[in-house]
Structure 1
Amino acid sequence: MPRCPLTTIGSPAVRAGLVSSALILIQASGLAAQDSSKGGVPDKVDTENLFGFTEGTDTGKKGEQELLFDMIGRFSKRRDGPGRSGYSAAQPLISYQYDPTDNLSVEPGLLFDARNSHNIAGVPDKSFGTFNGGSLELKYQFFKRTDERPFSLALQVEPQYARITPIEGQGADVFSVETRLIADARILPDKLWGGLNLIYDPQVARSKGSGDVDRGSTLSVSGTLMAKVANGLFVGPETRYMRAYDGTYLNRFLGHAVFVGPVLNYQVMEKGFFTLAYSTQVFGHDRDPDFSVRAFNLNQFARHAVRLRFGVEF
């Protein structure tokens, strides 16, 4: 009778070692095939909150939760006549994020508004702080970044209801649905990341006093590069191009502006982050005949903007 090949190879210890090695090789090949089917090892850096005014594609793992504070402040608009003037408006957002799957995040939030304006063209003089409304952010990431595929795509939709118009600070019922097509990439492993957003934001506001309805929309492109300069510390430049329209479907072009500025992101701890971004208008044009010869567009946009964001995962 033919013998089993293993019985012809040395001692029982040698045979046991060969069997063990074979099992290890089979297991390793299976894991490698699994990683290959998934496109390689996932990127360790979470780009969701890495950038400034630009959003990242990443969502958390299934079951992860996060508490966030996100505030955008806008400062300086065109004065209305001689004398001192000032404009500052901030919209803080407190939100809770839950990830029902590895590729989907759901983030309801509460909006607030605080502002102070005096002697500004087209903006009434007022100073107050108040609760402003709510939002629901939904983001779907189509695929994760890996060693073999260092880029990713996501779609983010954020319906929002607010009680205050964003520029004038007037009482109104304001409905908007900001929609972002998000792309980002790991350009240099463990060193450099880039992000790009295409943003469409239609808005309808009904005045609580007169009942007048105002419809507008913006179309924007933002991009950034973030470099890792130390363990947990990232810095880089960011650029935004924004176009304002009358009508919710980009009906009539009103003006545009270009913003540039720096971004800083710091991983405070393993599950926490802090992001600070500053953006200033370096070019703009307003089609309103009263302001068309001015250097900037300070009718639809402010001169300066700051974004402060921090959160904790659990």
Structure 2
Amino acid sequence: MHVLELAPVRIAAIVLVGLCAPAYAEDKSSEQDKVDTENLFGFTEGTDTGKKGEQEVILDTIGRFSKRRAGPGGSSYTTFQPLLSYQYDPTDNFTIEPGLFFDTHDARNVAGVPDKSFGTFNGGSLELKYQFQKRTNDSPFSFAVQAEPFYERVQPIEGQGADIFNMDTRLIADARLIPDKLWAGVNLIYDPSVARLRGSGEVDRSSTLSVSGTLMMRITDKLFFGPEARYMRAYDGAFLNRFEGHAVFLGPVLNYQVEDKGFLTLAYSTQVFGHDRDPDFTDHAFDLTHFARHNLRIRFGASF
């Protein structure tokens, strides 16, 4: 009697599990990647945006070191450009990030750069990013577009006073190549610039076109490490009018997740190949007119 009474219950349970199994599998397949790539890479940006209503404070510092010596004697070139920004996510796919730039500059006996040493407030920026899709178990690829107009008061290389308007525009793609182990990111960057020099009123128009890519491997639960490569081309004119030089950079990237809400990213790159079309420097190995020899990026942030 007990077996007969329990049989309908067992059959009902089996049917219920069978009906729920496809739904469960579908839910797992659409589960989003738990690793946030937005700040995972070095000089390459990730596609991810925060959750709706999320906020983040970021200190992002880029340092550039070593340029071509102008003449006999010692030579030094060091610049740091800290950016303090606040990020807000009005939706799950869109971020707004206003920021303030600062600049420290020290140059001595450098070709084409006046001898100067100073630190100053340098301007502001507004980064806007839209992510077209999130990475999931079924779709490990993600794409985004980012535009960052900004105003600077000091030329980034020469350190002279100017009114400079830039528009850093990026097409961003990344992918989870091995679940929970390996991620890749690629950026295509177009950066036009128009500068009016203070005093002379001379207008300088330039632009750069760059491609960057990186691989990041999970070493521990919170530590990621990998190589990064960048190829950069410099042009006279805001619309890639006349090619002036190019450079290839290589270096490592280290990312550490600080608890659940913070991160620290360190990236270093050095120019391993380059060519300058300036007749005075065509026989030199690198393009040190438009780019520095060494680059360092330190980025720290916390969300709330």
In the alignment, the residues of structure 2 paired with residue 28 and residue 133 of structure 1 have an alpha-carbon distance, to the nearest angstrom, of: 56
Select the residue among 148, 153, 156 that pairs with 2:138. 148
Correspondence list, 1:113-192, <5 A:
113-192=103-182
What is the aligned partner in structure 2 of residue 59 from structure 1? 49
Q: Deviations over 1:224-281 (max 9, x none)?
A: 1111111211111110000000000000000000000000001121111000000000
In the alignment, the residues of structure 2 paired with residue 302 and residue 235 of structure 1 have an alpha-carbon distance, to the nearest angstrom, of: 24
Q: Deviations over 1:66-103 (max 9, x none)?
A: 11000000000011111111100111000011111111
What is the aligned partner in structure 2 of residue 3 from structure 1? none
Select the residue among 291, 302, 308 that pairs with 2:298. 308
What is the aligned partner in structure 2 of residue 279 from structure 1? 269
- What is the one-letter code of the residue matched to 1:153? F
In the alignment, the residues of structure 1 paired with residue 15 and residue 182 of structure 2 have an alpha-carbon distance, to the nearest angstrom, of: 40
- What is the one-letter code of the residue matched to 2:170? R
In the alignment, the residues of structure 2 paired with residue 61 and residue 210 of structure 1 have an alpha-carbon distance, to the nearest angstrom, of: 48
Select the residue among 219, 224, 228 that pairs with 1:229. 219
TM-score normalised by the chain length of structure 1: 0.92
- What is the one-letter code of the residue matched to 2:90? P
TM-score normalised by the chain length of structure 2: 0.95
In the alignment, the residues of structure 1 paired with residue 195 and residue 289 of structure 2 have an alpha-carbon distance, to the nearest angstrom, of: 17
What is the aligned partner in structure 2 of residue 205 from structure 1? 195
Q: Deviations over 1:269-300 (max 9, x none)?
A: 11110000000001110000001101111000
Aligned residues: 302
In the alignment, the residues of structure 2 paired with residue 166 and residue 271 of structure 1 have an alpha-carbon distance, to the nearest angstrom, of: 32
SS in 1 for 2:42: coil
SS in 2 for 1:83: coil
Q: Deviations over 1:106-151 (max 9, x none)?
A: 1110110111011111111111111111001111111011111111
Is the counterpart of residue 69 in structure 1 residue 59 in structure 2?
yes
Over alpha carbons, which structure has the higher Rg? Answer: 1
Q: Deviations over 1:200-242 (max 9, x none)?
A: 0000001111111000000000011111111211111110000
In the alignment, the residues of structure 2 paired with residue 68 and residue 28 of structure 1 have an alpha-carbon distance, to the nearest angstrom, of: 43
SS in 2 for 1:230: coil
- What is the one-letter code of the residue matched to 1:236? G
**Which runs of structure 1 show a deviation greater than 6 angstroms over 4 or more consecutive aligned residues?**
none
- What is the one-letter code of the residue matched to 1:304? H
- What is the one-letter code of the residue matched to 1:189? P
Task: Say what the alpha-carbon RMSD is for the aligned residues.
Answer: 1.7
In the alignment, the residues of structure 2 paired with residue 111 and residue 10 of structure 1 have an alpha-carbon distance, to the nearest angstrom, of: 78
Correspondence list, 1:92-131, <5 A:
92-131=82-121
What is the aligned partner in structure 1 of residue 186 from structure 2? 196
- What is the one-letter code of the residue matched to 1:186? R
Select the residue among 210, 216, 226 that pairs with 1:220. 210
In the alignment, the residues of structure 2 paired with residue 31 and residue 187 of structure 1 have an alpha-carbon distance, to the nearest angstrom, of: 24
In the alignment, the residues of structure 2 paired with residue 225 and residue 137 of structure 1 have an alpha-carbon distance, to the nearest angstrom, of: 24
Structure 1 unaligned regions, length at least 5:
1-8
